[in-house]
Structure 1
Amino acid sequence: MSSRYSAAGAHQRDLRTQLFASPNGNRTPPSRTASPYEPSASVSAKHNESFLSTLESQNNDEMESMGHKVAMLKTLGQKMGVEINKGIKLNDEITNTFEQGKVTLKNTYNKMVVMSQRAGITWRMWLTVFGLVFVWFFYIWIF
């Protein structure tokens, strides 16, 4: 065991290649293939600096562009909020107007009923009058 790690022994790489040696003791190291991950040719520091500067410039441009887009979306959202609030207010006004109209029509109908009761005219007579007016308008419309 001590001969294995002695200075007189082979390098550690040779020990590993012994595992793949032929039984007759022929020690041929395995052929190496080129690795796709080998470092590329060394690039100068100046080139690296300019490349990083370019990347930083592109990053700044992208950040500015994104900032403008976010600002536009923010203003669009605010304008949409204003329009929604206007729509809600208009809807409330229309609802109030319809409620007032409903009350006005109800009061008018009740007053008309009271007036017809005081006048002594029955609803059948009113129906006859409105029927005659309708027939008159229909006759004029046809001829």
Structure 2
Amino acid sequence: MSGSRYSNGGGAHQRDLRTQLFAPPPQRGHSQTPPSRTASPYDKAPPPPNAKYNESYLSSLESQNNDELDSMSSKVRLLKDLGVKMGGEINKSMKLNDEITNSMEKGKVTLKKTWGKMIIMSERAGITWRMWLTVFAMVGLWFFWVWLF
């Protein structure tokens, strides 16, 4: 049991080896440079600390900001124009829909009056409306037959 990894004899030594695996590497010399890593080609390198408040750096940031602001304002202007055009089209379609509804109502009233007059005419003539409907159906079939041939 003395060779067991849980025994008192070798446990501390093994624990020291495991902690050394995860410990940071020892510093060589006095340089404080972090370990190099592979950087993404899309990452921009941060400006050096002494140029952080440099006038040219600040003016380049401001020009980038102005460019972004101009592009955003043009996009907002395009969206506004699109919204105005959509509103105009919606108003036109609503007006057209109202006109179609009004003409359908007028047609409905006209058909109802015509039907009523036809029934009154058929009662006065002594022929029922079913007979008139049969006559109109025969004439319609005859026109259809002529149209086919």
* Structure 1 unmatched ranges of 5 or more: 1-29
Q: Equivalent residue for 2:101?
A: 95
Kindly report which structure 2 residues correspond to 1:1-143, keeping only aligned pairs within 5 A, or say none.
31-32=27-28, 34-36=32-34, 43=50, 48-143=54-149
Q: CA RMSD in A?
A: 2.8
TM-score (norm 2): 0.62
Separation in structure 2 between the aligned mates of residue 111 and residue 44 of structure 1, nearest angstrom: 96
Separation in structure 1 between the aligned mates of residue 106 and residue 27 of structure 2, nearest angstrom: 98
Deviations 1:89-116 (A, max 9, x none): 1111111110111011001100110011
Number of equivalences = 111
Going from structure 1 to structure 2, the CA distance change for 1:117 and 1:42 (only over 3 Å counts) comes to closer
SS at match of 1:121: coil
SS at match of 2:127: coil
Separation in structure 2 between the aligned mates of residue 91 and residue 105 of structure 1, nearest angstrom: 21
Going from structure 1 to structure 2, the CA distance change for 1:57 and 1:133 (only over 3 Å counts) comes to same
Q: Give 1 or 2 for the bigger CA radius of gyration.
A: 1
Instruction: Give the % identical residues.
Output: 63
Separation in structure 1 between the aligned mates of residue 88 and residue 147 of structure 2, nearest angstrom: 49
Deviations 1:31-89 (A, max 9, x none): 3563439xx966458x8211111111111111011111101111110111111011111
Separation in structure 2 between the aligned mates of residue 59 and residue 124 of structure 1, nearest angstrom: 82
TM-score (norm 1): 0.64
Going from structure 1 to structure 2, the CA distance change for 1:41 and 1:89 (only over 3 Å counts) comes to closer
Residue type of the alignment partner of 2:27? S
